[in-house]
Amino acid sequence: MKTRTLGNGGLEVSAIGLGCMGLSFAYGPATDRQQAIALLRGAVERGVTFFDTAEVYGPFTNEDLLGEAFAGLRSNVTIATKFGFDLEPGTGLQRGLNSRPRHIRQVAEASLRRLRTDVIDLFYQHRVDPNVPIEDVAGTVKDLIAEGKVKHFGLSEASEQTIRRAHAEQPVAALQSEYSLWWREPEETVLPTLEELGIGFVPFSPLGRGFLTGAIDELTTFDSTDFRASVPRFSPEARKANQVLVDVLGEIAAQRHATRAQIAIAWLLAQKPWIVPIPGTTKLHRLDENLGAAALQLSSEDLRDITAAAAAITVQGARYPEHLQQLVDR
């Protein structure tokens, strides 16, 4: 597996990481624990070094899962986790946002215990808290770095202005936000800002929460615990309208003897050398498929055709329910 560097602080990771959320959270029932551990260890065997988790995934159980899976393998992996939500002790019920300095420290200590490690490689603010100045957040993580409990600071779904303010207080190694062929808003102001400041970019949902793979259509039904069941972009009407993008990807994939997923990930990799997508999966054969994108070289003509085809399509449906949309781009 080739590697890439996130930010100017020298955070080197595999060119494709693994988003671990879906093993415990958001996309239906949690994966069997032993199956999930086998997947995580299988990813390491395949050269993946970058793993993404958060206290809220589960909640709490995803970090614990990684802690067990990577026992004895800690030196081979880079673990990113997140703070920023106010979770009720015990139940994990979300009570809103909380990036107050004292809470950040509490989350860091709890994450260290669950991950069974003495340092967090990349500590993201999961969502920007409008009630806490970003300078206070960055300053707290700066202190944690000085204490050796955290190596690098990251942000998620932050606006250009927030990125600049945070970076002035403590260098930001990476921004994690949604980016794919069906959500390209980061290209407007965020990507230029990251390039200017020397910050890496970690796109989550690079496969459009599974839609770009072609495995989901207007007739697909979602489990009641699947987050997508409440997302406007995944309504039957929106899926039917958005199928045209999947069809275009299929045509290009057939020409390249690849899959839609591989084309979508390879397109992201080709945008900037400091982009590291983190597709998630619960199946080893899908992991192998996704990782195959790292070896797929798209020509300038391929990239032009893909970009032009995607630009000609107006994707239908908001990417979050209304009550969650307010948490992004702050």
Q: Which residue has the tokens 């050269």?
A: 47
pTM as predicted? 0.96
Choice among 27, 57, 124, 179 that is catalytic: 57
Mean pLDDT across the stretch 114-123? 98
pLDDT in tens, 46-94: 999 999 999 999 999 999 999 999 999 999 999 999 999 999 987 888 8
Q: What are phi and psi of 103, to 5 degrees?
A: -70, -40
Query: Computed over its alpha carbons, how large is the radius of gyration of the chain?
Result: 19
**Is residue 320 annotated as a catalytic residue, yes or no?**
no
pLDDT in tens, 228-261: 999 999 999 999 999 999 999 999 999 999 999 9
User: What is the assigned CATH class of domain 3-209+271-296?
Assistant: alpha beta
Confidence check: pLDDT of 329 > 80? no
Mean pLDDT across the stretch 15-19? 98
pLDDT in tens, 149-174: 999 999 999 999 999 999 999 999 99
Mean pLDDT across the stretch 124-131? 97
The tokens describing 323, both together, are 């009550």
Give the contacts of 58 (CB within 8 A, at least 6 positions apart): 24, 25, 30, 64, 92
pLDDT of residue 75: 97
